[in-house]
Structure formats: structure tokens, C-alpha cells
Chains A and B, each alone.
Chain A
């Protein structure tokens, strides 16, 4: 996982070429990088800097400013627990603690088997279902701490 050197896919390269001349392209390109690899790998950042002709420092400046971009690979299943206001009021902090307890990792860390990572996010826009957690885009709403183990199992079974 960590030692792996990523190489630029032809699709990504084509995307960068397409956006190269558009003003203000950097964030859109970084979104595509993250979509491709699940994070912003250093070697890809270097290559992107060359292709777009921007300093690498600018890329890191942008990546570290925005919460959405990550410099480390997430787990195969990334658990995003909502700590927006609606979820907080209905016990979102207990849900995240339960995930941490069940998985044995803290926020923004990945389990040793690379299967799960836990992330705290602020409002996923389904506050009506508070408290909410999203696993790889799948919404789990009206959570109670007792549901957490079952959700983890459900993904663990998928491997």
C-alpha cells in the first residue's frame, strides 16, 4: 500500500491535457487525481506539476488547504461519519467513537489490513437521517451505536 509507486494512467493524462489550457484548472485536475488513486500520490503530483507547468509547492499549497484532498491512501472502505450539527445533536460523536472502538483505529487512520479507514466529515446533506455515516458513497442513516458492528461486518464479508 504505502510503498507502491503509482504511475499516471492514460485517462488521467488525457484529462490533464484537455484541461491544460483552461484557466483555474488545478483543483479540477486534483479532483481527478484523487478519483483515480483515492489520494494524491507524490509522484503523480510531481508529474502533474510538470504537465500543468505550475510549481509543485503550489500543488501542495492547494492540497493541504482543502480538507477533501488526502495525501494518504484511505482504506478500501472509507467510513465517513458525519459530525455536522444535525448529526452531532443526535449522537454522531457516539457513532464515531463506536467505529473507532470496533475498528481499533482513530480518525484519519487506516486499519493495518488496509480494509477500513475512519473519517469525520461535516454534513453529508442527508441531515433528515441523522446521525449518518457514508461508506464508499453508501448512506447509512438513523444510526445507533448498536448498528455499527453490523455495518463493519457487512463490508468485511465483501473482503
Chain B
């Protein structure tokens, strides 16, 4: 039976925390009360990407897009929109209080997007396999198992130009080919769902919103390389994604899409989940395999590559979630369809978790070759609070910072590498002039030092030293020689570290030194942080001309740093001041300022 309308309620993590479940319940009871139960279908979907404005409700077929919906609003949506066909204007997204935008297609956030990976996210109920099947789900399996040889599958993926989305951009077809060419016997297919970049959640949303697409891709990959067993290595911090994968595996097994003799083809494939345990280095493929084997996640030198010698010494392919999400579409629509999207060297789309100081933070998917300007200003709606764009960081702790002069670079693996960053897995962090680049470099180093497994000295010692220098500089004790030292250590870490973590850990330092040397010099020479972020470099002063001697600040100061008699100008003892800012906030006469 077809429904007249569909109510899509976002059930992603962000919207669930805003009360999506209550909204679903409210729709159920309000629709029943209005006698619309058989005409309107309520679907709890995965993330629609617009998390910042959540909880999100979308009404089909009109495509009306309601933001920041509360359970109390549901009555009105049912009565007005679903009964009378009138859009509830007050719940529409409204960026500049001007024209009300009604349909999703009119929201700039969605206009430049192109959804392959996220094709089903926010459209289907991820806990219903029928929803997935209705949108061509598991169709690619039939094609692969009954019409294609493993060689043909590998060729198709090679021809598509698909490259790994986990960070390094290695051609996926090539990886599959290596594993396929290994002698027959036990082989493994592993999905890397460890998503370690702090500040990124592309893979989480894909798994939560469309888990079957990953299962389908793993079956295809298993068939191509000759593996009968797959593992999904997923962060334990993602409980909703884990639950949805468990449900999906159960449903697929029930329909004979997983297990022995899939669809009567004679091909066997099963998938098991393995949980990560909060170690960033386990995203690195050799460490990940160690972790699946139940060991401490320490990387191993390559070669041998996992495609030759992986899990328990057997040939193993490891692919990232987003890489895999592309596979069924490529099989269904063909390599020649896919390889027309993107740039000369990088085909397809990229999902980014757009965060930081942008107006519309959220999950986006754009064709490769889109510029940062389009992403940040068109899709992301520009910088929050009327501030200035200062820099963007891609690639998380392994990536680099990108200054304004490169905003018009069309993004692909090569162009980002050329300007000193990397594509990474899809974290895209936007900074404004209130962020300090030295502080950001310190933030990332602090992370990598924490997460270094300690196996090799360049990473373990080099990282610690870099962090010490950065601390020195942000504390106002830096010298110009420190910069030289930092450059030397960075180079040594790149060259001599065993795994990608150490090899790339200095990228945030190198790129900030390259583009923001003037800010480093300000910290070192002038003991100044222009953003005000490095609190040890701030000093608070009282303007004697404005100070009325009201004593309010002296009473507020937790450090007892302010002295002065009543009705005479007060002074701050810099050696006592802990830079808390309380005095400035207290002074009614604007006499206290910092710089």
C-alpha cells in the first residue's frame, strides 16, 4: 500500500539527543488522532547531515524541511501541514530572517551536495532491510554473484578509479587485485570503522544511517578477493552504530544474503563485529589487525602488506567505511558512470564532517574538485557570528592547516598534498580569527603524543619534544631557535617513524610554521597572542583615566592581584594575576582591558 505522505524523523545521534524518539511517538499518536494513520508513514531515518539545526523532520513528497523541531510542535505539523496542506513557516530553516525556505532543495546547505555515499542516509529506516532493498539494495550482489567473475569485479573497481577514503587514497581495485592474486585459502575482508580523527563522524553516520550498504560492499569484496569471512572493526564509543550493524547482520542472514551459499550461488560469507577500545593508532591497518587478534595495537613494518600477510598471517583487505559505501553503486551504475565524477586523479565524491566556526556545521558530501570556498561559504553558510575566516584544517591530527589564499583550490588528494595538507578521512575544521594557530598545533600534538603507541623512538620522543616547544611558545618562553629545532624534529619524524601516525604527526606544526610564521614570531618576540587564546600571554590592565576606584574588581579577583584605595585608580599586580578575566567582566566603567 502506498502512503500519501511520509514523515522522515532524523534518528541520528545528534537528533536523538534532541528528543527524536519523543517526536516519533508524538507523530504516531497525533496521526492516529487525526485519522491519518493509513495515509502517512513515519520513518525514523539516519542522519540528514544538518545536525546543527536538529532535530530535523522532513515531509515527503513536498520535501518540506523542518528544523529544531520539538515534540510539542508535532500537533501543529499534523494539523496544518498534513491535514490542511499548509507549511508551518515558523519551523522552516531561516538563515537570514528573510525569505522562508520551504523545501530541502532550496537550502544552500544541500544545493552543492551530491550524494553517493550518503544516498540512503536520512531517506530509509536503517533498521528495515526492506527499505534498503527498495532502493536497489543488494541488487549489486545478485549482479556480482551471478553475472561477474571475481576478475571482472576487480576490473570494474579499478576502472572506476575509486581510491581509499580512509586517508591515504590508495586505489581500491589495486588492493583487491593483490589479495585476489594470492593463492586460494583462508582470506579476510576487514572494514575499518575505527574513525579515529577527533572531530569527524562521517563513518559513524553512514553506519547508523545505511548499515546494509557496508554489508553488501563487504560481500562483494569478499567474493572478489576470495574471502569467506569479514570483520567490521568498530569503535566501542559508537553504540548506536553497533546496534544497527547487529540488526542489519541479523536481517541479512535471515534473507540468505549472508552465511552459507548466498542466494544459492555457492558463495559463503559471514561478518563478525570486533570492537575497538579507544586507541587512535588502531585505525592504522597493521595495528588494527593486531587488535582484532586480541593484542595491544602496535603497528608493524610494511612490507609484508596485509593483502599478502594480514590477519593471522592470511591475505587481508582493509577498507574504510566510506570507500565501501561507494562499491554497490559502482557495480550498479558502472565504472564509467563513477569515473566521470570528480577530478583527473580523484573520482567520485567526498563526505566531510564540517565543524568549527561555520554557520551550518554538519555532514556533507560533495563531488571531488569542489573548492573549499564552496564548501565553507556556500554549503557551510560562512563563518559564524560575522567573524573572519582564518584557516581550515583537513586530515585531523595527520593533516595540515590551509590559509585563506587556497580557498579556491579544487580539492583532491594531490591538490591538498601540494598545499601541505591531506585529504584525510573527512574532518574539515573551520577556524576564525579568535583561534590561535599555535594553540591548534599544540592541540593536535597533544593528541598524537597521547596516542603514540611508543614502539618507535622518532614518534615517541620527537612528538614529546615538539609538544614541549609548543608549550614553551604559548607560555611566552619561546625563542627563535625553537623554531629551527621544531623544523628539524618534524623532518626527522616524517622520515624515521614506523607508521603513519608518527610520519604525519608533525604536519599540523609544519603547515602552521609554513603559513603562519608571523604568529609564531609574535608569540616569541612580542609575547603576544593576537587571538587572545594563549591565556598566559594576555595581560590585564586598568586604565587609570577610566577607573573610578569602585573596588568591585578587587573584590572579585580570586588571586588578590588588584590593589588600590577606594575612589583612587586601582592597579593589577601582574605577578599575582592568573588571567581569569573576572575583573574585566566586573568593571562597570570599561576601565579594564586585556591584550
Contacts and interface: CB of A to CB of B under 8 A. Distances in A.
Interface residues on A, range: 35 or more
Interface in B267-316: 274-280, 291-297, 312
B516 interface: no
A31 B276 CA distance: 9
Interface in B353-375: 353, 355-357, 361-363
B54 A128 contact: yes
Contact of A125 (B13, B276, B296): B13
A123 to B, nearest CB: 4
Given A65-B296, A85-B429, A141-B18, A126 B278 contact: no
Contacts of A105: none
A159 B71 CA distance: 27
Which of A26, A85, A122 is packed against the most chain B CB atoms within 10 Å?
A85
Interface in A68-95: 68-69, 83-90
A91 to B, nearest CB: 11
Contact of A86 (B204, B237, B279, B429): B429
B11 to A, nearest CB: 13
Contacts of B204: 125
Contacts of B199: 84-88, 123, 127
A121 B396 contact: no
Given A62-B296, A140-B17, A31 B200 contact: no
B200 A28 contact: no
B195 interface: yes
A62 B295 contact: yes
A62 to B, nearest CB: 6
B195 A125 contact: yes
Contacts of B590: none
A146 B186 CA distance: 57
B402 to A, nearest CB: 14
Interface string B418-441: 000000000101010001000000
B275 A128 contact: no
A110 to B, nearest CB: 19
Interface string B344-355: 000000000101
A26 to B, nearest CB: 4
A67 B429 contact: no
Given A24-B274, A125-B238, A127-B200, A66 B279 contact: yes
Q: Which of A25, A65, A127, A139 is the most central at the interface, judged by chain B CB atoms within 10 Å of its CB?
A: A127
B51 A137 contact: no
Contacts of A127: 51, 199-201, 353, 355, 361
B277 A126 contact: no
A36 to B, nearest CB: 14
A121 B195 CA distance: 14
A127 B49 CA distance: 11
Nearest to B235: A125
Query: Of residues B201, B297, B447, which shows the largest number of chain A Cβ atoms within 10 Å of its Cβ?
Result: B201
A139 B197 CA distance: 20
Given A31-B236, A85-B443, A126 B14 contact: yes
B427 to A, nearest CB: 7
Given A23-B312, A86-B429, A68 B356 contact: no
A128 B294 CA distance: 33
A3 interface: no
Interface string A95-127: 000000000000000000000000001111111
A27 B356 contact: no
B239 interface: yes
B373 to A, nearest CB: 20
A152 interface: no
A129 interface: yes
A122 B294 contact: no
Interface string B159-199: 00000000000000000000000000000000000010111
Contact of A69 (B277, B297, B312, B356): B277
Interface of A: 23-28, 30-31, 61-62, 65-69, 83-90, 121-130, 137-141
Given A68-B276, A86-B429, 7 more contacts: A23-B293, A26-B295, A68-B236, A85-B356, A124-B237, A128-B363, A129-B54
11 contacts: A28-B274, A65-B297, A66-B278, A85-B396, A86-B353, A86-B361, A89-B431, A127-B51, A127-B201, A129-B51, A130-B355
Interface of B: 13-14, 16-18, 50-52, 54, 195, 197-201, 204, 236-239, 274-280, 291-297, 312, 353, 355-357, 361-363, 393, 396, 427, 429, 431, 435, 443-444, 447, 453
